[in-house]
């Protein structure tokens, strides 16, 4: 049975919750800040997992602010709107450092530089759920729909599309992905729908590729969602590296490979997804760059590599590099590695294996591609 309890929040953890202790039990509660005393409804979810529902902030932390979004606390899209933006970045630094220590047993005492941009209206891509003419995101912690008419972190072009859908959406149940370059809208509907419903979505844009900052991006190809920080991310990852050979793993449509080709004589871009690989080939060919595109998964490509390139840059999915890729990287022994990670826990796991093999961390940079949320991007530069 749920009980009302007074909790003192020790810290924020990855995922957006605050951690408190109650009679030796760890309790996770959303929408809090480190140092706050709160009243919460606490219940056991499963085994030793206890969750709190915030009822009242008794003693607020200095970084607490009033969230500007009317859907906050209900919509599951954002977790940090109650935190002043400068404090959000500092919290993410602390969470990254703790993940390295707790997951990877890495005591990194160096500075973690942070690159931040506009904290609002930054997203160029959203995934909307539609049920019975309601349009929105899932509620916090559930699959129930939180209907919206606007999104505080979405670009103006996306908000215009959201408003159009919220006013005149067919009574269907589906998910629609929207991606925009501010002039064109890419629309990707996940289900088969009646012709009238398709016509409504088609009025927003097309389901074909669009041009984004000089790259062709198809509906099933990945591209970074922050429209303000793409260039800074690329500059941070590529840095001042230069030489004869570079490898770009999980290359996507070529975001990093194109920049690497300005610094290296030969670049190999490796991408396993067919849609992204076709975009990668197109983006290379029209630039006439010295980039070889290979449609292969990263592990198989690394296993075939005998000569160490000057640099290997990897931008893996949330699952990280994994044991096999780390094993191959330690065998190849490239002088420099750059890992672009969207999950601090899997980054810490991968770094543990690489550091044990003789690499050292030269630089860690937190790039806040996802303000108002717990998500973060980290760029790790390693050298032997």
Strand 210-212 and strand 215-217: pairing?
A: antiparallel
Closest listed residue to residue 226, CA positions, set 111, 346, 368: 368
pLDDT of residue 117: 94
Residue closest to 73 by CA, chosen among 137, 125, 10, 11? 137
The pLDDT value given to residue 200: 78
- pLDDT, position 46: 84
At 113-148, the pLDDT tens digits run 999 999 999 999 999 999 886 899 999 888 899 999
| Claim to verify: residue 190 and residue 207 sit in the same structural domain | yes
Q: Kindly report which listed range (92-101, 195-204, 275-284, 336-345) carries the lowest average pLDDT score.
A: 195-204
Confidence band, pLDDT 50/70/90 cuts, at residue 170: low
**Whether residues 104 and 130 fall in one domain:** no
DSSP state of 190: -
pLDDT score, position 63: 93
Percent of the chain with pLDDT over 70: 99
- Average pLDDT over the chain, rounded to an integer: 95
Look at residue 78 and tell me if it is in a domain: no
pLDDT score recorded for residue 61: 96
- Do 284 and 162 share a structural domain? no
Q: What percent of the chain has pLDDT over 90?
A: 88
Whether residue 109 sits in one domain with residue 136: no
User: Do 193 and 257 share a domain, yes or no?
Assistant: no
Residues 30 and 53 in one domain: yes
pLDDT at 88 over 70: yes
**Position 7 pLDDT exceeds 70:** yes
Claim to verify: residue 129 and residue 201 sit in the same structural domain? yes
Domain that holds residue 245: 93-118+226-383
Q: What is the 3-state secondary structure (H, E, C) of 312-343?
A: EEECCCCCCCHHHHHHHHHHHCCCEEEEEECC
Sign of CA dihedral 82, 117, 76, 322: negative
Compute the Cα dihedral for 264, 270, 273, 275 and give only its sign: positive
Residue 68, strand partner residues: none
Of 117-126, 172-181, 269-278, 320-329, the poorest mean pLDDT is in 172-181
State how far the Cα of 257 lies from the Cα of 234, in Å rounded to an integer. 10
Question: For residue 226, what are the β-bridge partners?
Answer: 123
Is there a contact between 133 and 170 (Cβ–Cβ < 8 Å)?
Answer: yes
Sign of CA pseudo-dihedral 195, 200, 203, 204: negative
Kindly report which listed range (21-25, 86-90, 227-231) carries the lowest average pLDDT score.
21-25
Of 188, 213, 238, which one is at a domain's C-terminal end? 213
Looking up residue 41, the CATH number of its domain turns out to be 2.40.50.140
Task: Report, as an integer, the average pLDDT of 148-156.
Answer: 97
Q: For residues 382 and 323, what is the distance between their CA atoms, to the nearest angstrom?
A: 17
Domain count of the chain? 3
Structure confidence by residue, pLDDT tens digits, 37-80:
999 999 998 888 899 999 999 999 999 999 999 999 999 999 99
Instruction: Express each pLDDT in 264-315 by its tens digit.
Output: 999 999 999 999 999 999 999 999 899 999 999 999 999 999 999 999 999 9
Q: Final residue of a domain: which of 48, 64, 80?
A: 64
**d(C-alpha 167, C-alpha 150), whole Å:** 11
């Amino acid at each position: 049975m749920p009980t009302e309890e007074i909790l003192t929040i020790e810290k924020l953890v990855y995922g957006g919750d605050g951690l408190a202790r109650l009679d030796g039990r760890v309790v996770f509660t959303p929408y809090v800040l480190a140092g706050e005393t709160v009243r919460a409804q606490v219940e056991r979810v499963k085994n030793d997992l206890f969750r709190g529902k915030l009822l009242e902030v008794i003693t607020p932390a200095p970084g607490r602010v009033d969230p500007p979004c009317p859907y906050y606390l209900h919509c599951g899209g954002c977790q940090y709107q109650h935190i002043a933006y400068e404090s959000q970045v500092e919290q993410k630094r602390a969470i990254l450092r703790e993940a390295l220590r707790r997951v990877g047993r890495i005591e990194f005492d160096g500075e973690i530089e942070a690159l931040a941009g506009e904290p609002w209206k930054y997203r160029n891509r959203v995934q909307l759920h539609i049920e019975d003419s309601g349009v929105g995101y899932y509620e916090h912690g559930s699959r129930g729909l939180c209907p919206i008419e606007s999104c505080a972190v979405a670009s103006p072009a996306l908000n215009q599309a959201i408003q159009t859908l919220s006013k005149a959406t067919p009574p269907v149940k589906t998910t629609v992905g929207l991606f925009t370059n501010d002039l064109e809208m890419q629309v990707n509907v996940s289900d088969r729908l009646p012709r009238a419903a398709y016509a409504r979505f088609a009025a927003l844009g097309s389901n074909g590729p669009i041009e984004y900052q000089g790259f062709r991006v198809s509906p099933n190809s990945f591209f970074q969602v922050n429209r303000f920080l793409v260039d800074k991310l690329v500059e941070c990852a590529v840095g001042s590296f230069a030489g004869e050979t570079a490898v770009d793993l999980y290359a996507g449509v070529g975001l990093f490979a194109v920049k690497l080709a300005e610094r290296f004589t030969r670049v190999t871009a490796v991408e396993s997804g067919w849609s992204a690989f076709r975009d990668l080939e197109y983006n290379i060919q029209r630039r006439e760059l010295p980039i070889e595109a290979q449609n292969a998964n990263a592990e198989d490509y690394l296993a075939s590599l005998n000569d160490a390139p000057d640099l290997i840059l990897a931008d893996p999915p949330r699952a990280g590099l994994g044991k096999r890729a780390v094993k191959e990287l330690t065998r190849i022994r490239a002088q420099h590695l750059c890992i672009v990670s969207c999950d601090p826990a899997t980054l810490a796991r991968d770094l543990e294996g690489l550091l044990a093999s003789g690499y050292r961390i030269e630089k860690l940079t937190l790039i806040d591609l996802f303000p108002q949320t717990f998500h973060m991007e980290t760029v790790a530069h390693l050298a032997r």
